[in-house]
Amino acid sequence: MPSLYQLSRSMKRLAYLIAAAAVWQVASSFAEESPFKRKKEIIYGRKHGLAMTLDVFQPLAKRNGRGIVFVVSGGWFSAQNKIDGAAKRLNWVELIKRGYTLFAVVHGSQPKYTIPEIREDMHRAVRFIRHNAKDYSIDPEQIGIFGGSAGGHLSLMQGTDGLDGDPGAGDPVERQSSRVQAVVAYFPPTDFLNYGKEGQHFDKHIRKILNGKNPFLAALDFHHYDNDQNWFERVTEEVEVQKRLREVAPATHVSKGDPPTLIIHGDADRLVPIQQAHWIMPKFKEAGIEAELLVMPGKDHGWEPEPEELKKFGDWFDKHLLGDN
């Protein structure tokens, strides 16, 4: 597995390697004897003519009627061939044994797509799952979400900034809400304008630890459409850039009514410093949201999950999706 400091100069290659190095993106086969049936590459929507897909893992034994979304994302890069490694590394089998149906969602990736565009994919995926809840034997009002790093960021965004459905939409999927009812986020970015310390830009921190490179910046390369010129133009005005950075920061959106949220973060994380978790936790408290931070001593960005950590992870969903105390 390549280290973060051995990445090539190519921006696209950098993003790919970091995604491949992340704990969530380790390529390996998922045991065939696992107690589930899997449906691959189900189309949840289309983007510029391209099919957006998710994989479904349903328990063969008892099902508890609850669904959990896994955001397949590392460095805001997503691919269907990264699902198996993520499933094995995080031991999804234990969640499946608890009766959960899992949905592994693949989103459009940077550098082609920015975070606002990726968020559209996540809204669509949750709406699709909710619309088809009966087919998957899950409760449409009890859906959880989890992910790590960029996937953790997108999970938090879904928790803090999920959207209501549009009752007048012609597409019945779009009439569904994209809100979720429980969140678990591993080492997530939470504020790009206060990153590592108050007032520090995400880009400055990343370049500091990656020898002047930032393979993630394309995800924040915002554009707007110029109707007069009929093309997209890069957003360069600092005030507007900062506004858009706040719009994609989970810390900006925390409010009353957000779902219970568990953050798991290593206190030796260099890529996403634990300051990001400490930054958002008071905001949850102020909003009256049930939130908890599990600090993993000595852990950097990605690690082999500990048994008690996996239990906490599963128990969080049991408590908030099933009502177990």
Residue 25 scores a pLDDT above 80: no
Q: So what's the pLDDT on residue 237?
A: 87
Rg value, the chain, Cα:
19
- Residues 282-287: contacts with CB under 8 Å, at least 24 apart: 283/251, 283/254, 284/254, 284/258, 286/254, 287/254, 287/255, 287/256, 287/258
Q: So what's the pLDDT on residue 183?
A: 98
**Residue 7's pLDDT band (boundaries 50, 70, 90)?**
very low
Q: So what's the pLDDT on residue 91?
A: 79
**Residue 234's pLDDT band (boundaries 50, 70, 90)?**
confident
Under 8 Å CB-to-CB from 152, ≥6 apart: which residues? Answer: 71, 146, 185, 186, 187, 188, 189, 263
Q: So what's the pLDDT on residue 231?
A: 65
Residue 79 in tokens: 């691919």
Between 185 and 85, where is the model more confident? 185
Residue 102 scores a pLDDT above 50: yes
Q: State the CATH architecture for 4-322.
A: 3-Layer(aba) Sandwich (3.40)
123 phi, psi to nearest 5 deg? -60, -45
CB atoms within 10 A of CB 111: 17
Under 8 Å CB-to-CB from 53, ≥6 apart: which residues? Answer: 40, 41, 42, 43, 44, 80, 106
Mean pLDDT of the chain: 89
AA letter at 2: P
If you write DSSP's letter for every residue of 228-273 in order, what string do you get? Answer: TTTEEEE---HHHHHHHHHHT-HHHH--TTPPPEEEEEETT-SSS-
Q: So what's the pLDDT on residue 17?
A: 38
The domains of the chain are located at: 4-322
Between 27 and 300, where is the model more confident? 300
| DSSP-derived secondary structure letter, 4 | G
CB of 182 within 8 A of CB of 260? yes
Q: Do strands 101-106 and 231-234 pair parallel, antiparallel, or not at all (unpaired)?
A: unpaired
Query: Within 91-188, where are the H helices?
Result: 92-97, 115-131, 150-161
Work out the average pLDDT over 231-240: 80
Residue 228 in tokens: 């007069």
Q: So what's the pLDDT on residue 306?
A: 87
Q: So what's the pLDDT on residue 3?
A: 36
Residue 27 scores a pLDDT above 50: no
Between 6 and 138, where is the model more confident? 138
**Residue 10's pLDDT band (boundaries 50, 70, 90)?**
very low
Work out the average pLDDT over 32-55: 90
Q: So what's the pLDDT on residue 308?
A: 86
Share above pLDDT 90 across residues of the chain, in percent, rounded to a whole number: 76
Least confident window among 12-16, 94-98, 203-207, 220-224 = 12-16
CB of 80 within 8 A of CB of 55? yes
Q: So what's the pLDDT on residue 226?
A: 67
Q: Among candidates 140, 177, 325, 322, which has minimal Cα distance to 257?
A: 177
Least confident window among 6-20, 60-74, 97-111, 262-276 = 6-20
Q: So what's the pLDDT on residue 236?
A: 76
Task: Give the count of alpha carbons within 13 A of 71, CB side only.
Answer: 37
- For the stretch 179-226, pLDDT in tens is 999 999 999 999 999 999 999 999 999 999 999 999 999 999 988 766
Residue 102 in tokens: 């899992």
Residue 312 scores a pLDDT above 80: yes
Q: Among candidates 306, 310, 248, 302, which has minimal Cα distance to 270?
A: 302
Whole-model pTM: value is 0.89
